[in-house]
Chains A and B, each alone.
Chain A
Amino acid sequence: MDKPVLRAHNVVSGYGKLQVINGVDLHVNEKELLTIIGPNGSGKTTLIRTLIGLVEMFEGQVFIREKEVSHMRPHEIIKAGIPLGYVPQLANVFPSLTIEENLKMGLFVKKWDEYYLKRIEEIFNLFPILGERISQRASLLSGGERQMLALARALMPNPEILILDEPTAALAPNLAEDMLQQVVTLKKTLGISIILVEQRAKRSMELSDRGIVLVTGRVAAEGPSNELLQEDTIRKLYLGVREKS
């Protein structure tokens, strides 16, 4: 097995006194798409926010590329040059910044003018729509375009691992499918690892390599996606597949 790009041991975290994540082990391998599914409020968002330091971790350890990042604040992780891209579930762009400024924010800790020129062509190839509206404010974009901008911003620093929190949440069904396909394409063409949190559990599981089912802050099931897709209880409870009678 390859060395994992990100691994976390016994993560316990939450908000103040409220413990939401109750001891989770997790890893993502190189060039792997890991999907995290689970019911609303099961702690998916909290878990990935803990990994990058946005939520306080009470116990446990997190390593990204063999470097321990436990208890580091997010800006410290980024400043340490850890190749990470994150797209949050809500508020995924800077609305009052222009598209160009949003993209530059992905390079904040670097000499951004220089890097921007290097990266922008590839980004515009992936997301042509952004190139046409470069000096507009992000607040003027539609939900789908925002999602693209968010993804583009996260990709600007050329990350090795991308963490996406429900990228299809605000999208119409056909756009959601496009987005999921886009994620798979990114994984293949850029050769990066992706952690994907998704409500469209079945579809995203079909497209991913491995899956985790999170229930009340614990890992209820874990394994290669095709295996999870076969298991009856998981199909019934978490993938929303109705059995034919």
Chain B
Amino acid sequence: MAIVPVDVLSHAAIAFVYAGKLILLTIGLNMTYSVLKFSNFSHAEWVTWGMFSSWWLLQILAFLVPWDAEMGFIINNILIQATFAFFMVGILGILSEILVFGRLRDLKASARSFTVASIGIGLVVRNLLSMVFGDYPQPVSSPELPFGLEDILVINITLTNRDPILGTQSIILTSYKILIILISIITVLLIDYIFKHTKFGIAMRATSDSIDLAQVSGINTRQIIFITWFIAAGVTGFGAAFVRATQGRFGTMDGFSMLLPIFAVVILGGVGSFRGGIVSAFIISYAREISAIILTEFQKKPYGLQYVIEDLLGFTISLSPGYMDGVGFVVLILVLLFRPQGIFGSVEAIRARV
């Protein structure tokens, strides 16, 4: 056996891609968190609905209109799918504002009420999706990439193969995995720019600071809130379509299972700091992956820590790599102990509640 028993490179690549997904799916949550000032738990279902609308809804729509080769080409294009998901999830965001959150705001409800309501919305959407599509993840094909990117965007490097010292070290990244990273960083920079430097972005921040003062400055705050919902939800749907494209199957729990890491990224990076989200996504993602490697080693017979403990103490503590998500949170807690506003967050943003 090689001295380095793990394919470090491939794990690094996996974590890299996971970070990209987190970045992409975090932007919308960061927006709602910082502008609307509450924890939107239905964000999970934005992700799920983004996946479903980008695939199934588009398939169904295409089925309803007369089918020809042209149509198949269009709906299998990732850009079409992602744009479609942008609008579909954006509409979901606006609907939840109209049906629920707008009314709560009129009643001057607390942020806690908003959060609880968002949990409710999430449950409703998730269960509706389950009713229609069933609970089990279904295999689907990857959409096509335009411009022949599929063949260009491939990284396949084998640094060492069964080397006596390094073992096997290799990276295989297919087009969507690379694309996720690129798209996520471009989207963050774009949203960050809008937020910081455009009049619209300043209006969003002003509205989040004080609705009254924003209104007497001439801002139609109702409109700003609607647009915030639409963009935050839309970007999440857009991202979800790309995340969907990296995985062979998807189901109604996919968004929910990523919710906690997504929250961790926002909080670690600092609420309101989109660039901070990039750094924290990498931190969380690598902490997760490294712990997965270590935990896997612990489970190896006969000298893994798990068996050492078993021999010494006579009972079994499972050290499953399934605990890797927990490790991300340990990192989160450790950082927050020293910087409660997150790595890049501003102090006033922690006044965002719940």
Q: Spell out A's residues near B (CB within 8 Å).
A: 52-54, 73-75, 78-79, 84, 86, 88, 91-97, 101, 104-106, 108-109, 112, 137, 139
Contacts and interface: CB of A to CB of B under 8 A. Distances in A.
Given A54-B215, A105-B217, A96 B208 contact: yes
A97 B214 CA distance: 12
A185 B128 CA distance: 64
Given A95-B348, A105-B202, A75 B210 contact: no
Size bracket of the B interface:
20 to 34
Q: Is the interface of A mostly helix, strand, loop or mixed?
A: loop
B202 A104 contact: yes
Contacts of B254: none
A75 B202 contact: no
B228 to A, nearest CB: 15
B218 interface: yes
24 contacts: A52-B216, A54-B212, A74-B215, A74-B216, A75-B218, A75-B219, A78-B217, A78-B218, A79-B218, A84-B216, A92-B213, A94-B205, A94-B209, A96-B205, A96-B208, A96-B209, A96-B272, A96-B346, A101-B202, A105-B206, A108-B218, A112-B199, A137-B346, A139-B348
Counting chain A CB atoms within 10 Å of each CB, the highest count among B213, B215, B221, B346 belongs to: B213
8 closest A-B pairs by beta carbon, nearest first, are A78-B218, A109-B218, A74-B215, A94-B209, A108-B218, A91-B210, A108-B217, A105-B217
Nearest to A109: B218
Interface in B124-164: none
Interface string B172-185: 00000000000000
Nearest to B215: A74
B220 interface: yes
B209 A108 contact: no
A97 B202 contact: yes
Contacts of B217: 75, 78, 105-106, 108-109
B203 A75 contact: no
